[in-house]
A and B are shown apart, each in its own frame.
Chain A
C-alpha cells in the first residue's frame, strides 16, 4: 500500500557519511514510515497494558518491573531498523501486526501463574514470562532473517518433492519416537532439544502443495471424468487429494492430533480451490471429510469424546467438560469490557482455573481480561494478517508465489480460526496453538518463519527465477546437496 506512495519509497539522500558508506557496498536504506507509525502505536498499547497489569497487582499507579517489555520493544525496533537499513520494499503492516500479537502474548504470559512452565536455558532457570520472551526473540530473529536474506524462491520451488519427502520423514519419526503429551503423540526429542514437528510440517506441506498445484493447475482444472453430478479431472490427478486425505487420517489415528489433521485438510482444500476455481473439489473434499469423520467417530473413543463435549459439556462437568465449562464462565466474567489485565481468573492457590490456559486456552484468558471488545480486536489482527497475505498473493508475479503466499496465510488464519472456534464452542475443541500468542517454542519459531516468508514474497525487489535456470542459493550450497536433492526429486517424480 503506502510502500508505493512517494513518501515511503523515496530513497534516502546520501548526505551523511554513514549513508554514503552504505551506498558504496550496495545497500540503499529506505524509510518505512507506515511500519514505524504502526509500531509506535503497538508499543504504546503494550506499555498501557503493562501499566494496567502492574498497577492492578501492586495497587499503585506504576509501570513496575518493565525489563521484559523493554527488552521486547528493543528487539522489535532493532528489526525495524534492520529492515530500513537493508532497504527492503516489503509489506509494512505484517510485521507491526505480528509484533502486537507477540507483545500481547508476552503480557499474558507475564500475567499467568509463572510456574506453569519452567525450563533451564544457558544455566538459568526461567519461568513462563521470561521463557516466552526467549521464544519470541528466537521467532523474531528467524522472521527478520527470512525476510531480509531470502532473495529467491527457487530453493522452495525446485525441490518440492524433496520437501514433501522430508515432511513425511519427519512425521514418521514422530510416529515412531514421539513422546505423548496430553494424550497426543506430538513431541520429538533429540538430545536436549524438544519440538513439535507438526508445526514445521504445516509449512513444508504448503510449499509442496504450492509447487504441485502451480505445475498441474491446468490439468486439475480440466474436467474429463463424471461421477454423478460432479465433473472431476482425470483420475491420476485426484491421487494427491486422496493421499492428503489419507495422511490426515493417519495423523488422527496414530498421533491423536485432531487439530493438526483438521488444519492440514482445510488448508489443502482451500488451496486446491484457489488453484482450480472448482467447487466440485470442495464438495468432494467435504464429503470425504464427513465420511472419514463418521468412521473415526465410530472407531476411536478420543474422537467421540471431543464431539460429545462439544455438543454437551455439562454431561460431565467435573471431567471431560471441565475445561470448556471453565472457559464459558470466563467469557461470562469478562463481559463486554473485560475484567482488566490481572483481575480475571480467580485461581485456586496457584492452579489456573482453565487447564492448558497458556497454550490451548489463551483466547479464553484474553477474552476474560480484555472483554469481548478486546477479543474482537485480536480477531481483527488476524483478519489483517489474512488481508495482507491475500494481497501479497494477488500481486505475486507467478502462480507458485501466489499459491505459496495464499497457503502461508491460510496456515495462520485457519489455525487461529480452529482454536478460537474451539475455545468458543463453535466447533469441537482440538488442541492446537493460537499463532503468535500461545506459549511454545516450536509454534513461535515456525510462525516467525511463515511471516518472514510472506514478507520476503511481498518484496518487489525479489524477482522469480527464469524457468530452467538454477537459482543462486542452490549453486552456493554446493554440488553435494544439489546431487542429493536431485536424486530424491528424480526418484519421487
Chain B
C-alpha cells in the first residue's frame, strides 16, 4: 500500500472520526449537565413572580418559591404571606397535583382572580398564567434552571 492510498484512507476515516468527536464533546457536556440537574433536584416546583402590588408588599420583581401545597393569605401561618389590605387571612390555595397546578379560593372576601376571571372551585392553571390576589398581581412561572 503506497503512501497516497494510506493517507487518503486516513483522511476518509478522519472525516467520520471528527464528526464523532463533535458528538462526543456534546455528549460529555450533556453528562455534566445531567449530573448538575440531579444535584439540583431539590429545587422548588415553580415560583410566583410578583408583577404589581399596589401597596408595595411584596415588592414587584421578587419571586416566591413554591412547594407542592401553598396556602396564600395575610395570616403569618400561610406558606405565602401577602401583607395587603385587600387580602383575607386565609385567601387561596395553590397546589401541584400530578403534573399540573391548581388554584382554589378559600372563601376570601375579595376573591381570587385567574387571568381576569374569578376563581370558582378548583381551577387548573399553567405557567404564564396571572393570578390576582387582593391588589397583588402574580404570575406563575417555572423555577429558573441555573
Contact = CB atoms under 8 A, between A and B. Distances in A.
A34 B33 CA distance: 13
A466 interface: yes
Interface of A: 1-2, 4, 34, 37-38, 41-42, 44-45, 48-49, 51-52, 55-56, 59-61, 93, 96-97, 100, 214, 217-218, 221, 277, 337-338, 340-341, 370-371, 373-374, 377-378, 380-381, 384, 387, 395-400, 402, 460, 464, 466-468
Contact of A467 (B8, B100, B130): B130
Nearest to A371: B16
Nearest to A45: B18
Interface in B1-27: 4, 7-9, 11-16, 18-23, 25-26
Contact of B124 (A4, A59, A97, A218): A218
A37 B145 contact: no
A214 B128 CA distance: 10
B18 A48 contact: yes
B128 A397 contact: yes
Contact of A48 (B15, B26, B141): B15
Contacts of B116: 468
Contacts of B20: 373, 377, 380
Contacts of B144: 460
B21 to A, nearest CB: 6
B126 interface: yes
Given A1-B29, A49-B15, A100-B22, A398 B8 contact: no
Contact of A399 (B11, B13, B25, B126): B126
Contacts of B30: 1, 387
A395 B142 contact: yes
Interface of B: 4, 7-9, 11-16, 18-23, 25-26, 29-30, 32-33, 51, 99-100, 115-116, 124-130, 139, 141-142, 144-146
B128 A400 contact: yes
B29 A51 contact: no
Contact of A34 (B11, B14, B29, B115): B29
B16 A397 contact: no
Given A1-B29, A45-B19, 8 more contacts: A42-B22, A214-B128, A218-B100, A340-B12, A341-B12, A377-B16, A378-B19, A398-B126
Contact of B126 (A214, A338, A384): A214
A419 to B, nearest CB: 19
Contact of B12 (A38, A52, A217): A52
Nearest to B14: A48
B18 A59 contact: no
A60 B11 CA distance: 12
Contacts of A100: 19, 22
B99 A93 contact: no
A155 to B, nearest CB: 16
B139 to A, nearest CB: 7
A93 B126 CA distance: 29
9 contacts: A1-B29, A2-B29, A2-B33, A59-B4, A100-B19, A337-B12, A340-B12, A380-B23, A381-B23
Given A1-B30, A34-B29, A38-B25, A52 B142 contact: no
Contact of B22 (A45, A214, A371, A399): A45
A218 to B, nearest CB: 4
Nearest to B115: A467
Nearest to A384: B26
Contacts of A400: 128
B127 A337 contact: no
Contacts of A468: 116, 130
Contacts of A337: 12-13, 16
A397 B19 contact: no
A375 to B, nearest CB: 10
B26 A467 contact: no
A350 B79 CA distance: 75
A341 B115 contact: no
B65 to A, nearest CB: 15
Given A41-B25, A464-B128, A397 B12 contact: no
A149 B66 CA distance: 33
Nearest to B139: A466
Contacts of B25: 37-38, 41
B141 A377 contact: no
Contact of A61 (B7, B14, B115, B124): B7
A337 B16 CA distance: 9
A384 B100 CA distance: 28
Given A384-B26, A387-B30, A398-B128, A4 B16 contact: no
Nearest to B99: A277
Contacts of B146: 4
Nearest to A2: B29
A34 B25 CA distance: 9
Given A52-B11, A395-B145, A396-B142, A41 B18 contact: yes
Contacts of A402: 127
Contacts of A2: 29, 32-33
Contact of B11 (A48, A214, A338, A380): A48
